[in-house]
Amino acid sequence: MSKFFEALSPIHQTFIAAQPMFFIATAPASGRINLSPKGMDTFRCLSATRVGYLDLTGSGNETAAHVLENGRVTVMFCSFGPNPLILRIYGDGDVIAPDHPEWDELLERFPPTKGVRQIMTIAVTSVQTSCGYAVPEMTLVAERTRLTRWAEKKGDAALAAYRANNNQRSIDGRVIYPIEDGEPTL
C-alpha cells in the first residue's frame, strides 16, 4: 500500500543515502518523456523539502530541457536489497549552472567528480513510498568509473566543446541554453 508524505523524513533520507542508484523522470508539454538512471554518489538530501544531484556531462541533456520548460520532476529510488521499498520524490526542478550564486555551496556537498555540467535541485512537493515487492533482489558488483575516466581524459576545454556540440538542444530540438564564446550558458 502506498503512502504519501509532504516532506522527506529522516528514515526516508537514510534510505536514499543507502541506495547506489536512482532514476530521474521529466517530460515536456509534448514530446518524449525522459527517464534516466543515475549513480556514482551524486544525490543529496539538502533538507526535508529540497534535494539535488550532480548532473554529469553525457550524451544528452533532456532533464535540463524539460526542467527549464516546466520544472516537473519525479525521482525514484528502489531497494534491490532484502528489504523491498520504492520511494518517489515529486517536485519542481531547477538547473544550477556553474555561474549560479548557489553553485559553490551546493558543489561542496558532493565528492569531487570530473565532468559535472550542472546541479539539478528539486523542491519536494510530495513523497510517495510503496512496497517494491516485485523489484528483484540484486547485489551491487561495483560502481562504473568509465564516465569520469572519459571526462578526465577529455579535459575541461574538450568537455566544454562537447557540451556546446551535444548538450545545447534536447532530442526534440528544444534549446536548452544559448552558446556564448563556445560555452553553454543559462
Question: What is the per-residue pLDDT for 155?
Answer: 93
- pLDDT at position 181 is 53
Model pLDDT, residue 173: 84
Domains for the chain: give ranges and CATH numbers: 3-132+141-184 (2.30.110.10)
8 A C-beta contact, residue 159 and residue 115: yes
Output the nine-digit C-alpha cell for 78.
528502489
What pLDDT is stored for residue 186 in this prediction?
46
What was the pLDDT predicted at 76?
A: 98
Choose among 133, 131, 134, 129: nearest CA to 3: 129
Spans of the chain, pLDDT less than 50: 184, 186
Q: Report the pLDDT value the prediction gives residue 93, as an integer from 0 to 100.
A: 98
The pLDDT of residue 1 is 79
